[in-house]
Amino acid sequence: MSARHADARVARVVAMFESITPADVSRLGEFYACDACFKDPFNDVRGVPAIERIFAHMFVALDSPRFVVRDIVAEGDQCFLTWDFLFRFRRFSREEQVVHGGSHLRFDAQGRVVLHRDYWDPAEELYAHLPLIGVLMRTLRRRLSAGAG
């Protein structure tokens, strides 16, 4: 999706997410307020240094991580993005993986993100693709699904 959006704050953040590189991590303070909150299934932090650590870890732990923003809904000082996160595991499969998720963002008066909350299902989107754990997750899903006989 193009970063072009009627709201310049949203367009700026989308462009950053879709093009972020390891060199950009130190620039996150340009996009996040100094006391911004970030929460996802693995992290719950406050402040730019903590958010920078999360993004830096992403580049250390994964090969070729990138975001593709699919949908944008914006109103007032908030927006919701749906996205695909594409990457390769460094230690496991060399196959490209895709996590489908969404982000709720809230902006301050200066147009910086003060709240970033990611929503995605680690069991379906991540664990199911790991060796051994994935087999267990798929077996549990089959046994627990309403269609199980």
- List the pLDDT tens digit at each of the 149 positions of the chain: 444 567 999 999 999 999 999 999 999 999 999 999 999 999 999 999 999 999 999 999 999 999 999 999 999 999 999 999 999 887 766 788 899 999 999 999 999 999 999 999 876 655 555 555 555 555 655 666 676 55
Q: Could you give the CA distance from residue 73 to residue 81 in angstroms, rounded to a whole number?
A: 7
- Do residues 113 and 106 touch, judged by C-beta distance below 8 A? yes
SS3 113: strand
d(C-alpha 122, C-alpha 137), whole Å:
11
Return d(Cα 97, Cα 75) in angstroms, integer: 31
Strands 78-89 and 62-75, by their bridges, are antiparallel
Alpha helices (H) along the chain? 8-19, 48-61, 122-125, 133-144
DSSP state for residue 102 in the 8-state scheme: E
23 Cβ neighbours under 8 A, 6+ residues apart: none
